[in-house]
Structure 1
Amino acid sequence: MKNSYLNLIGLAYRARKCSLGEELIIKDIQNQRAKLVLLASDIGPQTKKKLMDKCNFYNVPVVIVDDREALSNAIGKSQRVAVGILDAGFATKIRSLLGN
């Protein structure tokens, strides 16, 4: 069950339905393109606060998931602590797999 949501994140990334990087994710949240934001459990406190505040203000769901290594491996990039999901279908399915 745990790997299924990571596989779905990888699929969303390959379908170009993800945004990576703090600034790009914030821009997608503000433009209301982001449907879900996934944060690694070992994200830094300042980055976590900034992304959580933006998500709360713009009513974008945010979920704390595994550590940065698992999240990075899912998308094939190194040292990623946050992923924005831009597609409503992917966001709904990932949330259902995570139990949120």
Structure 2
Amino acid sequence: MNEKKWMSLLGLAYRARKVISGEELVVKEIRANRAKLVLLSKDASANTEKKITDKCHFYGVPLRKVENRSILGEAIGKEARVVVSIQDEGFAQKLNSLLD
């Protein structure tokens, strides 16, 4: 998996204001059908993981796991982030393919 590529794309999406981070905000975006893709760090708490996974399944939002919270935060130029959602279909599809 080419880490640099998806991280810089996520950074680009963030600068384009197409990324929402933080558990509560992401859940809100999923509920509102605005989230096109959700990225969850593998070191999320069991509680957070279950909540996000259940929401994504229920609303049919693709969910991908990334290595850890520092990578996710670094990609968007912030401190550690456990979960982010991508609000743009184009960015979401490209990120999804880069994460394969």
Q: Give the structure-1-normalised TM-score.
A: 0.96
* CA positional deviation for 1:66: 1.6
CA distance in 2, matches of 1:68, 1:59: 23
Indicate the RMSD between aligned Cα atoms, in angstroms.
0.7
Runs of 4 or more above 4 Å deviation = none
Counterpart CA distance in 1 for 2:65 and 2:92 is 14
Distance (Å, rounded) in 2 between the aligned partners of 1:2 and 1:21? 21
Give the alignment of 1:59-74 within 5 angstroms: 59-74=60-75
Residue identity in the other structure for 1:90? F
What are the superposed Cα offsets for residues 32-58 of structure 1, whole Å, 9 maximum, x if unpaired? 000000001111110000000000000
* Number of aligned positions between the proteins: 99
Q: Percent identity?
A: 53
- SS of the aligned residue for 1:79 comes to coil
Alignment of 1:1-100 (within 5 A): 1-99=2-100
The aligned amino acid for 2:94 is K
Q: TM-score, normalised on structure 2?
A: 0.96
Deviation at 1:27, TM superposition (A): 0.7
